[in-house]
Structure 1
Amino acid sequence: MLTEPLLTSRREDGLDLPALIWRATTPLRSVSSGPLGGGIGVRRWVLNATVPMSYAREDPTDHLAEIAGGLGLDGPGVGLLTGVDVAEVVSRTDAGVRVWATVGLGTPVQAAAPAEQAPGQRVGTVNIVGYVPARLSDAALVNAVATATEAKAQAIVELGLAATGTPTDAVTVLCPAEGPEFAYGGPRSAWGAPLARAVHAAVLAGGAGPVVPWSERLNG
C-alpha cells in the first residue's frame, strides 16, 4: 500500500523548498523514469522535490539522494524533481487506482518536434505518481508507463496546447510485490483503463489553473 503524500520542506541554498513524500507500508514493485530509482525494482518510498527554476545541477541523482537522506528516507526509493510548487499536487482515484500529479506546463513540446526547434527558456515538468492495487508483470509495468503518458498527452491537448508534454516529464507506477500477476497495462486492460482515466483527470485538473513556479512564488 502507498500512503497519501506528506508535504514537508528542506533548507537549501538559503531557501525553504517543499517536497512530497510517499511511503510504502510494505515494499512495492515500481517502474519509473525518475533520476533516482528509475527502471524496474522494489521501492519503499517516492520523493517529489521542488527546485528553483534556475536549477542547473548536472547530478540530479546524487542531489536527490542528498535530499532523501536529509529527510530521513532510507532504503531504495524513487526521486523526482520539478520547478513547480509540489504543494499544488492534484490527486484522482478510479476503481482503486490512485494517481497524484504535479503539473507544470511552462515548456510544452511535441515529442516528435523537428530537431532544429529551439527549446523554451522556462522549465516545466509534469510528474505523475500512480499506485495500482494489483501486482503487474514487468511488461505490464512498462505498458502502464506508456498508458499514463498517453493519458497525460490527451489531457494536455484538451487543455488547448499543441503539445504532448514537456522535456522533463517523469512517470512512476507502483504496485504490490505479492499476489496474482496481471500481464497487461494497456489503456483497455483491467488496471490500465482506470490508470489512464485517473492520470487524465489529474493532469487536466492540474493544468487548468495557473501553476506558479516556486521561484516566482518566492519573489511574488
Structure 2
Amino acid sequence: MLTEPTLTSRREDGWDVPLLVWRAARPLLAISSAPLGGGIGVRHWVVNATVPMSYHRDDPAGHLAELADSLGLVGPGVGLLTGVDVAEVITRADAGVRVWATVGLGTPVQAAAPDPAAAPVRVGTVNIVVQVPARLGDAALVNAVATATEAKAQAIRELGLAATGTPTDAVTVLCPADGPPAAYGGPRSAWGGPLARAVHRAVLAGGVGTVIPWSDRCGA
C-alpha cells in the first residue's frame, strides 16, 4: 500500500516550496480528479505540491510531471497542487481506511451558486487522498469519490461556512489492484462508511485555523 508521505521541497519563484510524496509498495488502482493522473488506472505514487500565490503556469499536469521526474518517481502517478502548506497535512484512519487531507478554505463556494462576477482573490484547495485496504470495483470507486465529497461538505458546514468546497478541490482514492472487487462505496457500505468518517474528521481538523494560503504566511 502507500507509504506515509515524505515531506520535501523544491526551489520555485525564489521560495523553498514544500511538497508531499507517497510511494506505493506495489501498483495501486486509483480514481482521481487530479490534474496529473486523473481518471481510473493503476498508479505508483502520489504528489501533493504547494504552489505560491505567484504561480503562473497554465500546464499543471506538465509541471507536476517535471516535479515527479525531479523526485525520481517512475511509472504513472497522481499529481495534486494547492495554495496551502502541505506540511500541515492531516491524517485520519477508520477501520483500515487511511485519509490524508490538506485543507485550504480561502475560497469557499456553494457548488450550485451563480458564477462570480470576478475571479476570487484568495487561493483555497482541499486535496483529499484516501487509501482503502480492499479492492473496489469501478462503480464503487466512483461512489467512493462521491462519499468523500459528501463527507468534506459535511465538515465544511460544521466549520460554519456556507459552502460545499472550493473551486479547485480534488479527491484521489486508491486501493489494491487485485482481489475480489467490492461493489459499493456509499456512506453505508463496508468501506464507504469508514471512508466518510475519516474524511470528515480530517477536513474538520484541517479546517480549523488553516485557511491562509502558504505564500501569505511567507509574506509573498
CA shift, 1:123, in A, is 1.1
Give how far 1:117 is off. 5.1
**Equivalent residue runs for 1:38-53 within 5 Å:** 38-53=38-53
2:169 equivalent to 1:197: no
Alignment partners' CA distance in 2, 1:210 and 1:138: 34
Where structure 1 has 5 or more consecutive residues not aligned to the other structure, the ranges are: none
**What 5-or-longer segments of structure 2 have no aligned partner?**
none
- 2:62 is matched with which residue? 62
| Segments ≥4 residues shifted beyond 6 Å | none
- Whole-Å separation in 2 of the counterparts to 1:54 and 1:157: 30
1:15: how far off? 1.5
What residue in structure 2 maps to residue 132 of structure 1? 132
Give me the CA root mean square deviation. Answer: 1.2
One-letter code of the match for 2:133?
A: P
Matched residue, 1:95: 95
CA deviations 1:190-214 (Å, max 9, x no partner) are: 0001000000000000001234422
1:156 aligns to what? 156
Secondary structure at the aligned position of 2:207 is classed as helix
Correspondence for 2:7: 7
Please give the alpha-carbon distance, in whole angstroms, between the structure 1 residues aligned to 2:95 and 2:81: 28
TM-score between the two structures when normalised by the length of structure 2: 0.97
SS in 2 for 1:123: coil
8 A Cα contact 1:10 1:71, kept in partner:
no
Give the match's secondary structure for 1:66: helix
* Cα deviation code 1:108-136 (max 9, x no counterpart): 00000013554421010000000000000
Moved more, 124-133 or 208-217: 208-217
**C-alpha separation between the residues in 1 aligned to 2:119 and 2:13?**
27
Partner-residue secondary structure (3-state), 1:178 = coil
Q: In 1, distance between residues paired with 2:24 and 2:69? A: 17
Q: Which is further off, 209-218 or 177-186?
A: 209-218
Q: Is the 8 A contact 1:130 1:173 kept in 2?
A: yes
TM-score, reference length from structure 1: 0.97
2:62 corresponds to which letter in structure 1?
A: D
Residues 128 and 170 in structure 1, CA contact (< 8 A), matched pair in contact too: yes
